[in-house]
């Protein structure tokens, strides 16, 4: 848990490159708080693939298709965000170019690990120079490569962690408690039910139709209907 910032430390948050006396980068902590303010998003490794989902909260007049929190990066890699959608869009554009360059250079798809590392490197880069700010967005990057299903979290400091199941956003703590029910080699049906249950625990009064879910396997990405998954 992030410790409260003493009032006499406020002078240390004027630039990203200044550490506070107890070794904290306050601008990075503010960026982490922006992730915590975002709607809950999560990822789950299942048999042969990865499920990623989030809760959409569009207003009544919003064109729903324009409000996305899951992003296709490559044919076998998807990301889901919590925090600043503008920052997410910028990082996703960079990641897509990275994936294309890898295909042109090596004639093979980029690995999930390499792509997540590229995003994390970019996030870390902007914590080392004055005049910039950290990206206020957390990303879960999931996909399938020759090593199998992989799921990584990248957070504002540039830290990258691999998970079997993980949640980010304002309801992450409650969603993680439900995700403890994760089991190795879960099928798509069980995984979709766990995803819906976790998101509803993290976001109170969430309707199933407001959950955006994607299932990615090697070479294929498809939208998941949670109502259909419950019927089996």
The predicted structure's pLDDT at residue 1: 54
| Chain centroid to CA 63 | 23
Nearest to 42 by CA among 57, 55, 53: 53
24-81 pLDDT, tens digit per residue, is 888 999 999 999 999 999 999 999 999 999 998 767 788 877 778 899 999 999 999 9
Q: Where are the beta strands (DSSP E) in the chain?
A: 41-46, 49-55, 70-74, 77-83, 137-145, 148-154, 160-162, 165-168, 211-217, 220-223
What is the helix (H) or strand (E) element at residue 73, kind and residue range?
A: strand 70-74
Domains of the chain: 37-231 (3.60.20.10)
The predicted structure's pLDDT at residue 100: 97
């Amino acid at each position: 848990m992030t410790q409260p910032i003493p009032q006499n430390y406020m002078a240390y948050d004027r630039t990203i490159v200044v550490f506070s006396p107890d070794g904290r980068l306050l601008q990075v902590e503010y960026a982490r708080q922006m992730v915590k303010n975002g709607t809950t998003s999560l990822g789950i490794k299942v048999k042969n693939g990865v499920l990623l989902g989030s809760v959409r909260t569009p207003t009544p007049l919003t064109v729903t298709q324009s409000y996305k929190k899951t992003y296709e990066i490559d044919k076998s890699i998807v990301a889901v965000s919590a925090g600043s959608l503008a920052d997410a869009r910028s990082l996703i554009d960079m990641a897509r170019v990275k994936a294309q360059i890898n295909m042109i250079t090596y004639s093979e798809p980029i690995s999930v690990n390499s792509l997540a590392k590229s995003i994390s490197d970019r996030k870390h880069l902007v914590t080392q120079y004055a005049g910039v700010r950290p990206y206020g967005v957390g990303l879960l990057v999931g996909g399938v490569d020759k090593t199998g299903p992989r799921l990584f979290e990248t957070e504002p400091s540039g830290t990258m962690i691999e998970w079997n199941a993980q949640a980010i956003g304002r309801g992450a703590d409650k969603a993680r408690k439900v995700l403890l029910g994760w089991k190795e080699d879960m099928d798509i049906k069980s995984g979709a039910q766990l995803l819906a249950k976790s998101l509803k625990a993290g976001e109170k009064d969430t309707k199933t139709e407001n959950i955006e879910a994607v299932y990615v396997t090697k070479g294929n990405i498809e939208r998941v209907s949670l109502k259909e998954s419950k019927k089996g």
